Structure 1
Amino acid sequence: MPARAAGMSTRTYLRHFVQATGNTPVHWLISQRAQGSLPLLEKTRTPIEELANAVGFDTAVTYRHHFNRFTRTSPSAYRKAFTRRDAP
Structure 2
Amino acid sequence: MQKHLINDNGTYKTYLNGAWQTVTTSSPSKDNFVTKGMDDLSVLNRTVKTIDQPMTDNGILGSGKVFKSTLDLKKYFDITGIIIK
Scaled to the shorter chain, the TM-score interval is under 0.3
Q: Which has the higher helix share?
A: 1
Q: Which structure is higher in strand share?
A: 2
Higher Cα Rg: structure 1 or 2?
A: 2
TM-score by length of 1: 0.24
Could you state the TM-score of these two structures normalised by the residue count of structure 2?
0.24
